Amino acid sequence: MATRRDARFKASRRFGLNIYGHPKALKRQPKEQRQRKMSEYGMQLMEKQKVKAIYNLLERQFYRYFLKARKMEAIVGENLLFLLETRLDSLVYRAGFARSIRQARQMVNHGLILVDGKRVDIPSYGVKPGQVIALKEEKRGNELYKGSFQDIRAFELPYIEKNFDKWEVTLVRMPLREEIPFANDINETLIVELYSK
């Protein structure tokens, strides 16, 4: 399985956004250098790279999501964000089971996550509204997961309902554009324009 191996803090500084949620990601100030005016293509490419980094995807996976979003009704860019946000690894991270999207993907790959009581080990699994995501019972005593899910309570999102006693989260409905984390920092129309050339 291919994974992104780029420098995470460097990427966060380049995008000016703490995409990995690490407290030290934006601490070091970038060196003073003359800023060149970015071309239209450069801005589109930067936006695509930013969204790929947020969801920890490679180019081929990302492009497949774009093609799928284009076939759906409504706005293509928003469809793309909804598809990415309802991936299993993304929801495991948003629910607070993991401290990063990379850790969430690893947890899913190792079979630690159950969807509607069944083990699912595919990070790209598309979760549908009403489905329940839970951590395997034998892993609930692990201090790492306890610290993430019980203590941190990472994201409070209206489309995810958490049950802390049962270690479960439910995708209540599809998210709205403005409810998605980093939504204000993403211009998905630039990505659509890039792929539509």
Per-residue confidence (pLDDT) for residue 128, from 0 to 100: 96
Q: How far apart are CA 104 and CA 125, in angstroms?
A: 13
| Structure token pair of residue 160 | 């995810």
- The answer for residues whose C-beta is within 8 angstroms of residue 24's C-beta and 6 or more apart is 9
Per-residue confidence (pLDDT) for residue 17, from 0 to 100: 67
Sign of the torsion formed by the C-alpha atoms of 156, 135, 90 and 88? negative
pTM of the model: 0.82
Q: How far apart are CA 51 and CA 133, in angstroms?
A: 24
Residue 15 has pLDDT above 90, yes or no: no
Helix (H) or strand (E) holding 161: strand 160-163
Residue 23 has pLDDT above 60, yes or no: no
pLDDT-based confidence at 144, cuts 50/70/90? confident
Residue 149 has pLDDT above 80, yes or no: no
Q: Return the higher-pLDDT residue of 168 and 29.
A: 168
Q: Return the higher-pLDDT residue of 102 and 171.
A: 171
Q: What is the pLDDT of residues 24-83, one digit of tens each?
A: 555 665 555 556 788 999 999 999 999 998 898 999 999 999 999 999 998 999 999 999
DSSP-assigned letters across all residues of 20-81:
T--TTTTTSPPPP-PPPPPPHHHHHHHHHHHHHHHTT--HHHHHHHHHHHHHSSS-HHHHHH
DSSP-assigned letters across all residues of 65-130:
HHHHHHHSSS-HHHHHHHHHHTBHHHHHHHHTSSSSHHHHHHHHHTT-EEETTEE---TT-BPPTT
